Amino acid sequence: MIRIGQGIDVHAFCDPKDVIDTAEQFVTLAGVNIPHPVGLLAHSDGDVVLHALADALLGALALGDIGQHFPDTDEANAGLDSRVLLRHVYDLIIKKGYHLVNADITVMCERPKLAKHNLAMRTNIAEDLNTQIDNISVKATTTEKLGFTGRQEGIMVSAVVLLTQTDNV
Ligand code: ZN
């Protein structure tokens, strides 16, 4: 038995006018703090990569979405480390008798450039999902300056996962 899941997440960048010290700003993507003149607006750490991935995992087993599991109205989730969230979600998957085959993630943004952070992002995800790094793909693309990602107003991420029943392995 195999199951496929898809997740999409978007976070907007902060208004540059509200940023006092651009040198200290960063975005957190797959647990990696990547320097960028403006951070992402979020109730949690704004890790748009891990949110899309967690939604894909939940979607594969029709377990709802991270908004239901981690409501942003709950103060306990303020500033939440999304790697904690991801590991919690993956625990649910394991308890349902499934585990990850592979994940393929596409990050859509003009900036920051992600190539030199790719290995660190994949390493974090592989660690959290207890799998080999070659089961985790992270790709980055621009949208040719079109749309909100092209105007550098935010980052969008799409994630697809394949799960298989643990008993069959
Ligand atoms: Zn999110």
How far away, in angstroms, is 149 Cα from ligand 1 center?
15
**Among the ranges given (32-46, 109-123, 132-146), the one the predictor scored with the smallest mean pLDDT:** 32-46
How far away, in angstroms, is 167 Cα from ligand 1 center?
32
Please give the model's pTM, rounded to 2 decimal places. Answer: 0.95
pLDDT digits (tens, 9 = 90+) for 119-156: 999 999 999 999 999 999 999 999 999 999 999 999 99
How far away, in angstroms, is 140 Cα from ligand 1 center?
17
Please tell me what DSSP assigns to residue 41.
Answer: -
State how far the alpha carbon of 161 is from the alpha carbons of 4, 59, 139, 151, in Å: 6, 9, 14, 29
How far away, in angstroms, is 134 Cα from ligand 1 center?
25
How far away, in angstroms, is 10 Cα from ligand 1 center?
6
